[in-house]
Amino acid sequence: MDQAEVPPEIDENYQDAMLAQQVWERREFVRCDFTDGDLRGLTTTGCTFTECDFSRCDLGESTHTTTAFRSCTFERTNLAEITFTGCTLLGSSFNECRFRPWTIRDTDLTLVALAHADLRKSTMEGLRLREANLTETDLRDADLSGSDLRGARLLGTKLENADLRGAKIDANGLVQAKLAGAQVDLDTAIAFAAAHGLRIDS
Protein backbone atom coordinates (compact mmCIF):
# COMPACT_ATOMS: atom_id res chain seq x y z
CA MET A 1 0.00 0.00 0.00
CA ASP A 2 1.31 3.44 -0.89
CA GLN A 3 2.22 5.49 2.20
CA ALA A 4 -0.30 8.16 1.22
CA GLU A 5 -3.06 5.55 1.36
CA VAL A 6 -2.40 4.42 4.93
CA PRO A 7 -5.73 4.72 6.81
CA PRO A 8 -5.95 7.03 9.82
CA GLU A 9 -5.30 5.71 13.31
CA ILE A 10 -8.36 6.49 15.43
CA ASP A 11 -8.65 6.31 19.24
CA GLU A 12 -5.35 4.44 19.51
CA ASN A 13 -3.63 4.24 22.90
CA TYR A 14 0.06 5.23 22.83
CA GLN A 15 0.37 5.94 26.56
CA ASP A 16 3.98 5.44 27.75
CA ALA A 17 4.98 4.44 24.21
CA MET A 18 8.69 4.54 23.31
CA LEU A 19 8.70 6.28 19.93
CA ALA A 20 11.88 8.35 20.08
CA GLN A 21 13.82 9.24 16.92
CA GLN A 22 11.17 7.89 14.57
CA VAL A 23 10.41 9.42 11.16
CA TRP A 24 6.73 9.74 10.18
CA GLU A 25 5.42 10.95 6.82
CA ARG A 26 1.79 11.64 5.86
CA ARG A 27 0.40 9.69 8.81
CA GLU A 28 -2.97 10.63 10.34
CA PHE A 29 -3.99 10.28 13.99
CA VAL A 30 -7.45 11.07 15.38
CA ARG A 31 -8.16 11.25 19.15
CA CYS A 32 -5.03 9.23 19.92
CA ASP A 33 -3.56 9.28 23.42
CA PHE A 34 0.21 9.91 23.60
CA THR A 35 0.16 10.68 27.34
CA ASP A 36 3.57 10.15 29.00
CA GLY A 37 5.01 8.93 25.69
CA ASP A 38 8.66 9.29 24.66
CA LEU A 39 8.63 11.02 21.25
CA ARG A 40 11.96 12.74 21.69
CA GLY A 41 13.66 13.49 18.40
CA LEU A 42 10.57 12.55 16.36
CA THR A 43 10.52 13.86 12.78
CA THR A 44 7.15 14.39 11.05
CA THR A 45 6.37 15.64 7.56
CA GLY A 46 2.83 16.23 6.31
CA CYS A 47 1.22 14.39 9.23
CA THR A 48 -2.13 15.22 10.84
CA PHE A 49 -3.02 14.95 14.53
CA THR A 50 -6.63 15.78 15.42
CA GLU A 51 -7.82 16.03 19.06
CA CYS A 52 -4.80 14.05 20.26
CA ASP A 53 -3.51 14.21 23.84
CA PHE A 54 0.22 14.87 24.34
CA SER A 55 0.04 15.51 28.10
CA ARG A 56 3.37 14.91 29.90
CA CYS A 57 4.82 13.71 26.60
CA ASP A 58 8.48 14.28 25.72
CA LEU A 59 8.62 15.97 22.30
CA GLY A 60 11.99 17.59 22.91
CA GLU A 61 14.34 17.99 19.93
CA SER A 62 11.56 16.93 17.52
CA THR A 63 11.11 18.49 14.07
CA HIS A 64 7.78 19.03 12.32
CA THR A 65 7.33 20.26 8.75
CA THR A 66 3.87 20.98 7.21
CA THR A 67 2.30 18.90 9.98
CA ALA A 68 -1.10 19.74 11.52
CA PHE A 69 -1.88 19.53 15.25
CA ARG A 70 -5.58 20.47 15.35
CA SER A 71 -7.33 20.92 18.71
CA CYS A 72 -4.64 18.89 20.48
CA THR A 73 -3.83 19.02 24.19
CA PHE A 74 -0.31 19.75 25.46
CA GLU A 75 -0.19 19.77 29.26
CA ARG A 76 3.16 19.70 31.04
CA THR A 77 4.63 18.59 27.72
CA ASN A 78 8.35 18.93 27.04
CA LEU A 79 8.67 21.03 23.86
CA ALA A 80 12.25 22.24 24.40
CA GLU A 81 14.35 22.50 21.24
CA ILE A 82 11.33 21.61 19.08
CA THR A 83 11.01 23.07 15.57
CA PHE A 84 7.74 23.75 13.71
CA THR A 85 7.97 24.93 10.09
CA GLY A 86 4.91 25.56 7.94
CA CYS A 87 2.67 23.76 10.43
CA THR A 88 -0.76 24.44 11.94
CA LEU A 89 -1.59 24.22 15.64
CA LEU A 90 -5.15 25.47 15.14
CA GLY A 91 -7.18 25.43 18.36
CA SER A 92 -4.60 23.51 20.39
CA SER A 93 -4.03 24.27 24.07
CA PHE A 94 -0.75 24.48 25.98
CA ASN A 95 -0.61 24.45 29.77
CA GLU A 96 2.49 24.39 31.97
CA CYS A 97 4.65 23.19 29.08
CA ARG A 98 8.40 23.54 28.78
CA PHE A 99 9.05 25.57 25.62
CA ARG A 100 12.50 27.10 25.76
CA PRO A 101 14.21 27.07 23.46
CA TRP A 102 11.79 26.39 20.60
CA THR A 103 11.68 27.59 17.00
CA ILE A 104 8.41 28.09 15.15
CA ARG A 105 8.14 29.70 11.71
CA ASP A 106 5.34 30.33 9.19
CA THR A 107 2.88 28.42 11.35
CA ASP A 108 -0.84 28.90 12.05
CA LEU A 109 -1.59 29.35 15.77
CA THR A 110 -5.12 30.68 15.30
CA LEU A 111 -7.25 30.14 18.44
CA VAL A 112 -4.31 28.56 20.27
CA ALA A 113 -4.25 28.82 24.09
CA LEU A 114 -0.77 29.92 25.27
CA ALA A 115 -1.69 31.96 28.34
CA HIS A 116 1.12 32.37 30.91
CA ALA A 117 3.63 30.49 28.71
CA ASP A 118 7.33 31.33 29.01
CA LEU A 119 8.43 32.05 25.43
CA ARG A 120 11.25 34.49 26.07
CA LYS A 121 13.78 34.89 23.25
CA SER A 122 11.83 32.48 21.03
CA THR A 123 11.98 32.60 17.24
CA MET A 124 8.33 32.97 16.22
CA GLU A 125 8.43 34.87 12.95
CA GLY A 126 5.68 34.87 10.36
CA LEU A 127 3.05 33.31 12.64
CA ARG A 128 -0.74 33.56 12.44
CA LEU A 129 -1.82 34.22 16.02
CA ARG A 130 -5.30 35.54 15.31
CA GLU A 131 -7.71 35.08 18.24
CA ALA A 132 -4.95 33.31 20.21
CA ASN A 133 -4.98 33.55 24.01
CA LEU A 134 -1.65 35.13 24.98
CA THR A 135 -2.81 36.54 28.31
CA GLU A 136 0.27 37.23 30.49
CA THR A 137 2.45 35.23 28.10
CA ASP A 138 6.15 36.10 28.40
CA LEU A 139 7.41 37.05 24.93
CA ARG A 140 10.23 39.34 25.96
CA ASP A 141 13.04 39.51 23.39
CA ALA A 142 11.10 37.17 21.07
CA ASP A 143 11.23 37.48 17.29
CA LEU A 144 7.62 37.99 16.17
CA SER A 145 8.46 39.85 12.98
CA GLY A 146 5.82 39.55 10.30
CA SER A 147 3.34 37.82 12.64
CA ASP A 148 -0.42 38.46 12.65
CA LEU A 149 -1.64 39.14 16.20
CA ARG A 150 -4.96 40.72 15.28
CA GLY A 151 -7.71 39.67 17.65
CA ALA A 152 -5.26 37.97 20.00
CA ARG A 153 -5.84 38.34 23.74
CA LEU A 154 -2.84 40.36 24.86
CA LEU A 155 -3.84 41.46 28.37
CA GLY A 156 -0.63 41.69 30.36
CA THR A 157 1.39 40.05 27.58
CA LYS A 158 5.09 40.82 28.00
CA LEU A 159 6.45 42.04 24.67
CA GLU A 160 9.29 44.16 25.98
CA ASN A 161 12.24 44.27 23.54
CA ALA A 162 10.42 41.93 21.13
CA ASP A 163 10.92 42.27 17.39
CA LEU A 164 7.51 43.31 16.06
CA ARG A 165 8.61 44.74 12.74
CA GLY A 166 6.01 43.93 10.12
CA ALA A 167 3.67 42.47 12.76
CA LYS A 168 -0.05 43.27 12.74
CA ILE A 169 -1.59 44.21 16.11
CA ASP A 170 -4.99 45.78 16.66
CA ALA A 171 -5.70 48.73 18.94
CA ASN A 172 -6.79 46.62 21.92
CA GLY A 173 -3.55 44.67 21.82
CA LEU A 174 -1.46 47.83 21.61
CA VAL A 175 -3.15 49.11 24.77
CA GLN A 176 -3.17 45.87 26.76
CA ALA A 177 0.31 44.47 26.06
CA LYS A 178 3.58 45.61 27.64
CA LEU A 179 5.64 46.97 24.76
CA ALA A 180 8.51 48.94 26.27
CA GLY A 181 11.59 48.68 24.05
CA ALA A 182 9.85 46.65 21.33
CA GLN A 183 11.06 47.14 17.76
CA VAL A 184 8.20 48.27 15.52
CA ASP A 185 7.76 49.81 12.09
CA LEU A 186 6.33 53.26 11.46
CA ASP A 187 2.75 52.07 10.87
CA THR A 188 2.67 50.27 14.24
CA ALA A 189 4.21 53.27 15.99
CA ILE A 190 1.45 55.51 14.61
CA ALA A 191 -1.24 52.94 15.53
CA PHE A 192 0.24 52.73 19.06
CA ALA A 193 0.07 56.49 19.47
CA ALA A 194 -3.51 56.59 18.22
CA ALA A 195 -4.54 53.70 20.48
CA HIS A 196 -3.25 55.68 23.45
CA GLY A 197 -5.29 58.74 22.56
CA LEU A 198 -2.71 60.88 20.79
CA ARG A 199 -3.85 63.08 17.94
CA ILE A 200 -1.52 62.66 14.99
CA ASP A 201 -1.01 65.75 12.84
CA SER A 202 0.41 64.85 9.44
Give the CA distances from residue 124 to residues 2, 59, 174, 183, in Å, rounded to whole numbers and listed in that order: 35, 18, 19, 15
Range of the domain at 7: 1-108
CA distance 26 to 9: 12
In a domain, residue 91? The reply is yes
With a cut of 80, say whether residue 1 has pLDDT above it. Answer: no
Residues 72 and 160 in one domain: no
Tell me the pTM. Answer: 0.89
Residues 3 and 103 in one domain: yes
pLDDT, tens only, 164-194: 999 999 999 999 999 999 999 998 888 888 8
With a cut of 70, say whether residue 100 has pLDDT above it. Answer: yes
Residues 9 and 51 in one domain: yes
Give the CA distances from residue 81 to residues 101, 123, 179, 197, 198, in Å, rounded to whole numbers and listed in that order: 5, 11, 26, 41, 42
More confident residue, 56 or 198: 56
Residues 98 and 141 in one domain: no
| pLDDT value, residue 189 | 87
| pLDDT value, residue 202 | 65
Percentage above 90 pLDDT, the chain = 86
- Nearest residue to 149 (alpha-carbon basis) of 131, 122, 176: 131
What CATH number is attached to the domain comprising 139?
Answer: 2.160.20.80
